[in-house]
Structure 1
Amino acid sequence: MPEVLGPTVDDQTRCVHYRTPLDVIAIRFRCCGAYYPCHRCHEESAGHPAAQWPVAEQDTAAVLCGVCRTELSVRQYLAVEACPRCGAGFNPGCRLHAHLYFEPDPSGQR
C-alpha cells in the first residue's frame, strides 16, 4: 500500500488543507514519485518544486483513492467523479487545481 506523505489528518488521505468528506485522493508527484494529499502538502514538505505529469504520461498510475487504496491513472482520474472500484466520490473542486498536477491536454481531450 503506497505511503502518503505530508500532514494528513486521517487514514483516507485528508490533510490539514483539504479535509471535507470528498477530499479522499492523494496525488503521486512526478518530480519525486511520492504521494501527497495536495499541492500545498508537497510544497511544504518535499523540499523541491512540483512537476506536472505530461499529457504523454497520462496512463501512469498517479492518483490514489484514500478510501479503498486503488491507484488510478491520470487519464482514469480525469474522466471520473468517483472511484471506479469503491464508488467514493471525489471532490469536484479538485478540478480547479488539476493544472498544478497534470499538464493540460492542448487538444482538450481527457
Structure 2
Amino acid sequence: MKINEHIIKGPVIDQETRCTHYHTELDRIAIKFYCCQTYFPCHLCHEEAGCGETQVWPQDKFDQKAILCGACGKELTINTYLKGTNKCPTCQAAFNPNCKLHEKLYFAI
C-alpha cells in the first residue's frame, strides 16, 4: 500500500493503514522501523513481513520522522508523536491511545 510517496508493508486492510492485527476506527498510524527504515502498521506486521532484525529507535534519533498519519499522510517526528495528545497535529484525526502500551517495541524509552 502507498500513502503519498510512502510504502506501507504488511497485511494492510484499508487506506488509513489499518492492518489485520489492529483495525479499530482509531488504528490509523504506520510506524517506520529503525532497523529497516520501512513503514509497517504494527509490530506484528513487522514480525511477519519485516527485516527479521528488529531494532528500536534510539532516543538521539527521536527528531526523525517515523510516524505516518493514515488519515492525511503527514509524517510526524517521534518526539511529536510521543508528546502529542493521541491525534494528528495536522488533520486532528484521533490515534489509538492504547498504542502507548507498545512504545517500548518501537522506541528506546
Normalised by the length of structure 2, the TM-score is 0.93
Letter in 1 for 2:43: H
1:91 corresponds to:
96
Q: Secondary structure at the match of 1:44?
A: helix
Deviation at 1:87, TM superposition (A): 0.3
1:108 corresponds to:
none
1:100 corresponds to:
105
* Native 8 Å contact 2:72 2:91 kept in 1: yes
- Going by fraction, where is strand more abundant, 1 or 2? 2
Q: Cα RMSD between the aligned structures?
A: 0.6
What CA distance in whole angstroms lies between the structure 1 residues aligned with 2:99 and 2:75?
Answer: 17
How do 1:63-78 residues align onto structure 2 when only pairs under 5 Å count? Answer: 63-78=67-82
1:51 corresponds to:
55
Structure 2 runs not aligned, ≥5 long:
none
What CA distance in whole angstroms lies between the structure 2 residues aligned with 1:50 and 1:18?
Answer: 19
Structure 1 runs not aligned, ≥5 long:
105-110
Normalised by the length of structure 1, the TM-score is 0.93
